[in-house]
Structure 1
């Protein structure tokens, strides 16, 4: 009886969360831009001041799509803004709330999960280098780091999750641990381009508003420390639009990106990606047919 009650209670919570997310989504004013990048920045700025809250994807007993437009960590902020931008870019009629809601759900799932399919905890793209690799393969974005001034090609072993399992209770399951370890092994074998902290100023003129900025971790075993969006300020410099744990909310950095990374010694540089415009969605493709 207790298990039945618990199951029903969790189901009610799930429905309530979905209803809240739908209400929040439909209350938004989605302002498109002339380009996908402009749309991304317009949408991203709508969340300025929203609180930073960690671990919002880990509140359910089973893996499911979590939509929360009221609070973010750096990853959920980025994924939410990108999914909204892709949905807005693809739908001519942005006032069709049902179709827009479906497109947003589809893109968020596609961005967040390997092959765009939810299949347990390990199907979520936990490492951002894995996120980048998978979403580039899916055609949603392009890694442009190698094209930018000051970039270097390196490799970095990844092992953070399996060596810090106390932070990831799901890894107590041997099958999940094995899946994450396999992902780490795969990532550890690949080389990639990045721009060291001291070279970011050299690349700044080539950065574009709406670029996805992934900040590399200086510590061993971890690939990315933080993520956000490039935004050009009135001073002409590129700053970072992001969900900041230090400031506790979504903000634009007070300082240019190059200075921000240099001053954070736990960061070693950046990788950069750009969204690719996708062919317009049809009603059938939104519904997954």
Structure 2
């Protein structure tokens, strides 16, 4: 999915495994089977959002890891599946694919469809930006940001273009795209009341060339809304639940995608 780490620096690929092959370690294979069994045992009639909450909850405490995806303009893309550690973007990849799947083979196929445009495991096809989820096939989620507030702002972004005329990801084109976000000061009770458990939340950034710098999942709990995310903060360094309002105040605004 997103090529920008859960901060502002690009992920730098490292060598791992064979090109275009899913090399599952025993721990990951076992966890996939456990989570799919949990999904199968869930009460009938659960919404996608409820399944996303159930599955994402199982990752709480999973260590944060950076530089997880492998591939570049000069290095063959490799299909990385590793539940032993996640970054904020691979976390969403895994949860989204799990929520659509009933067995391990289907999970792998859905992960490929979630992470790559047209299901082709290729660096050029990887969904490097959060907004790719709502703009490229297979559409994983719908951008509902503009419907949530009259204060929503749309900015034309040149994704992948740095301010110094370089690119974050050499070998990839610059994509001109309108990014709609709700400024953090406008994320009030009315906006929060329209969010649903399982919505994907991106932290909008004013930086040129990027749409968001962090992503997570909105969950409404009996004690209030939380932001479930793979946090790289030194105080966390794992998947955590953070108070949603506190997190929003730390960002310029939010982008909201809703699972299809």
TM-score (norm 2): 0.79
Quick one: structure 1 residues 139 and 56, their matched pair in 2 at CA, closer, same or farther if it must change by over 3 Å? closer
For the structure 1 residues 16 and 109, does the alpha-carbon distance in structure 2 shift closer, same or farther, using more than 3 Å as the test? closer
What do residues 174-207 of structure 1 show as CA deviations (whole Å, max 9, x unaligned)? Answer: xxx1xx12xx2x3x2x323211111112411100
Structure 1 or 2, whichever has the larger Rg, is 1
What is the deviation of 1:128? 1.7
Task: Report deviation, 1:72.
Answer: 0.2
* Runs of at least 5 residues in structure 1 that lack an aligned partner in the other structure: 1-8, 92-99, 172-176, 277-289
Query: Do structure 1's residue 82 and structure 2's residue 96 form an aligned pair?
Result: yes
User: 1:23 and 2:30 equivalent?
Assistant: yes
In structure 1, the partner of 2:158 is 157
User: What is residue 78 of structure 2 aligned with on the other side?
Assistant: 64
Which residue of 132, 135, 155 corresponds with 2:134?
A: 132
- Rate the CA distance shift 1:16–1:140 in 2: closer, same or farther, 3 A: closer
Assess if the C-alpha contact under 8 Å between 2:143 and 2:258 holds in 1. Answer: yes
| 2:110 pairs with one of 103, 107, 110 | 107
Structure 1 contact 156–223 (Cα < 8 Å) conserved: yes
Q: Tell me how far apart the structure 2 counterparts of residues 233 and 58 of structure 1 sit (CA, whole Å).
A: 36
Q: Which position in structure 1 is the counterpart of 2:87?
A: 73
Contact in 2 for aligned 1:197/1:258 (Cα 8 Å)? no
User: How far has the Cα of 1:77 moved from its partner?
Assistant: 0.3
Where does residue 272 of structure 1 map in the other structure?
Answer: 256
Structure 1 residue 140 displacement after superposition: 3.1
Give the length in aligned residue pairs. 231
Gaps of 5+ in 2: 1-15
| Conserved 8 A contact 1:207-1:238 | no
Check the 8 A contact 2:23/2:81 in 1, yes or no.
Answer: no
Partner of 1:148: 148
Superposed, 1:115-264 pairs within 5 Å as: 115-119=118-122, 121-134=123-136, 137-149=137-149, 150-158=151-159, 159-160=161-162, 163=166, 171=170, 177=171, 180-181=172-173, 184=174, 186=175, 188=176, 190-201=177-188, 202-235=190-223, 237-246=224-233, 247-253=236-242, 255=243, 257-262=244-249, 264=250
Choose between structure 1 and 2: higher strand proportion.
2
C-alpha contact (below 8 Å) 1:244/1:251 kept by paired residues: yes
**Bigger share in helix:** 1
| Aligned-residue offset at 1:248 | 0.2
Q: 1:84 to 1:110 in 2, by over 3 A?
A: same
Classify 1:238/1:163 alpha carbon distance in 2 versus 1 (closer, same or farther; 3 Å).
Answer: farther
